[in-house]
């Protein structure tokens, strides 16, 4: 992506922060968040990102422009409690307000999640698989909230004739993400939950692939909105990546086997590969780079 004027939401988050820093080199990047973390705002502005403090729940955008080539919507309000009223307000309604504000953009990329699918054990999930309350065990309102957001996005794409793509992301990682949290848990001797229907498998995708692939999805944006799984093609279990982290660091993990955690979520990325190509970072390369960056490689 070059010479585009883009808006990124959720820019202080795990996925959007490195995405913004990567793309500001060749594009005019505007970014919004509440910026409770002022260090991140300073780092983004130092890199040339135009930051604006916006609470998506308010729908007040101040002097933010509207003539974007593309909007990348990564923001998500993480609702801690079993509060569906807040979930729907802070995510579904907030996304509707955003798309109303951005209706003049040329394309809208909505980051959804493979957590919208009904769990199917170790089977592969395609874009037409059944939806369900996948993440209830860890985040009580998340899956239903993300399904509700998708419905709002689909409506707004048609209402505003805004070409839109919905990307259901499965287990992003890089310098942060789930494997990184597991590394920290190992360093602090904290149990790592794995599902009793083991192994706990996910279809990891590295941040470098997200940075490269998300802009390619813009060519797939349409009215009505098109839906894609966004993942790698390697189905890797927590048990496997933790064992690999053990081998790289010399640390030892403690597992807690339970039915009260996420089940496997394995996504089929055939549709994505046919449209824009595959992910290329292998999981071992990505995990090793993560461990090295964290300074945890054993000598
Ligand atoms: N991380 C994963 O493992 C994973 C897996 C699958 C899919 N996804 C999806 O990927 C996307 C990015 O996730 P992430 O993990 O990178 O997110 P994250 O780290 O939880 O960050 C969420 C972002 O949303 C912003 N935000 C929250 N409430 C806001 C509000 N009211 N107004 C404005 N901004 C608000 C936060 O900024 P402030 O707090 O500064 O406002 C932050 O920048 C999300 O759509 C998520 O559902 C993530």
Residue 297's pLDDT band, with cuts at 50, 70 and 90, is very high
By percentage, how much of the chain surpasses pLDDT 90?
99
Give the nearest ligand 1 atom to 36 CA: 40
Q: What is the pLDDT of residue 261?
A: 97
Residue 182's pLDDT band, with cuts at 50, 70 and 90, is very high
Q: Candidates 56, 59, 76, 182: which one to mutate for ligand 1, based on the most atoms within 8 Å of Cβ?
A: 76
How many angstroms does the Cα of residue 17 sit away from the middle of ligand 1?
Answer: 10
Residue 183's pLDDT band, with cuts at 50, 70 and 90, is very high
What are the tens digits of pLDDT across the range 185-202? 999 999 999 999 999 999
pLDDT(213) > 90: yes
What are the tens digits of pLDDT across the range 20-48? 999 999 999 999 999 999 999 999 999 99
Helix (H) or strand (E) holding 191, with range, is: none
Pocket (CB within 6 angstroms of ligand 1) = 10-16, 33-36, 54-57, 74-78, 90, 111, 113, 146, 169, 171-172, 177-178
Give the nearest ligand 1 atom to 37 CA: 40
Q: At what angle do helices 38-47 and 16-23 cross, to 10 degrees?
A: 20
How many angstroms does the Cα of residue 250 sit away from the middle of ligand 1?
Answer: 32
Q: Mean pLDDT for the chain?
A: 98
Tell me how far CA of residue 46 lies from CA of 142, 158, 194, 235, in angstroms.
33, 37, 40, 37
Give the nearest ligand 1 atom to 57 CA: 31
Q: What is the pLDDT of residue 299?
A: 87
Give the span between the Cα atoms of 136 and 115, in whole angstroms: 9
Q: pTM of the predicted model, to two decimals?
A: 0.98
How many angstroms does the Cα of residue 39 sit away from the middle of ligand 1?
Answer: 17
Q: What is the pLDDT of residue 50?
A: 98
How many angstroms does the Cα of residue 78 sit away from the middle of ligand 1?
Answer: 7
Secondary structure (H, E, C), 34-54: CCCCHHHHHHHHHHCCEEEEC
Q: Candidates 33, 138, 177: which one to mutate for ligand 1, based on the most atoms within 8 Å of Cβ?
A: 33
Domains along the chain?
5-293 (3.40.50.720)
- Tell me the DSSP string of 125-190: E-TTSPB--TTTTTSTTHHHHHHHHHHHHHHHHHHTT--EEEEEE--EESSSBHHHHHHHHHHTT-
Preceding omega of 223 cis (within 30 degrees of 0): no
Q: Atom 15, ligand 1: which residue's CA is nearest?
A: 14
* Residue 58 CB neighbour total at 10 angstroms: 10
Tell how strand 70-73 and strand 5-9 pair up. parallel
What are the tens digits of pLDDT across the range 41-56? 999 999 999 999 999 9
Q: What is the pLDDT of residue 249?
A: 98
């Amino acid at each position: 992506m070059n010479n585009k004027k883009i808006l990124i939401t959720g820019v202080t988050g795990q996925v959007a922060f490195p995405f913004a820093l990567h793309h500001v080199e060749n594009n005019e990047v505007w970014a919004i968040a509440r910026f409770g973390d002022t260090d991140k705002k300073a780092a983004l502005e130092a890199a040339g990102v135009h930051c604006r403090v916006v609470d998506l729940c308010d729908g007040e955008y101040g002097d933010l422009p509207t003539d974007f080539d593309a909007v990348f919507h990564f923001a998500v309000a993480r609702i801690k409690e079993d509060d569906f009223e807040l979930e729907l307000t802070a995510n579904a309604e907030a996304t509707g307000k955003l798309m109303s504000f951005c209706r003049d953009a040329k394309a809208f990329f909505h980051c959804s999640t493979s957590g919208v699918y009904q769990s199917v054990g170790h089977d592969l999930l395609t874009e037409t698989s059944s939806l369900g309350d996948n993440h209830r065990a860890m985040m009580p309102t998340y899956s239903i909230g993300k399904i509700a957001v998708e419905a709002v996005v689909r409506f707004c794409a048609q209402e505003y004739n805004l070409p839109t793509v919905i990307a259901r992301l499965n287990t992003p990682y890089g310098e942060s993400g789930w494997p990184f949290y597991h590394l920290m848990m190992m360093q602090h001797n904290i149990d790592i939950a794995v599902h009793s229907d083991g192994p706990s498998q996910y279809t990891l995708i590295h941040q470098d692939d997200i940075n490269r692939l998300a802009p390619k999805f813009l060519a797939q944006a349409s009215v009505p909105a098109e839906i894609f799984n966004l993942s790698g093609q390697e189905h890797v279990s927590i048990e496997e990546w933790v064992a690999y982290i053990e081998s790289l660091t010399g640390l030892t993990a403690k597992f807690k086997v339970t039915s009260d955690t996420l089940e496997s979520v394995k996504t089929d990325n055939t549709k994505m590969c046919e449209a824009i190509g595959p992910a290329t970072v292998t999981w071992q390369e990505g995990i090793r780079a993560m461990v090295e960056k964290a300074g945890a490689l054993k000598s």
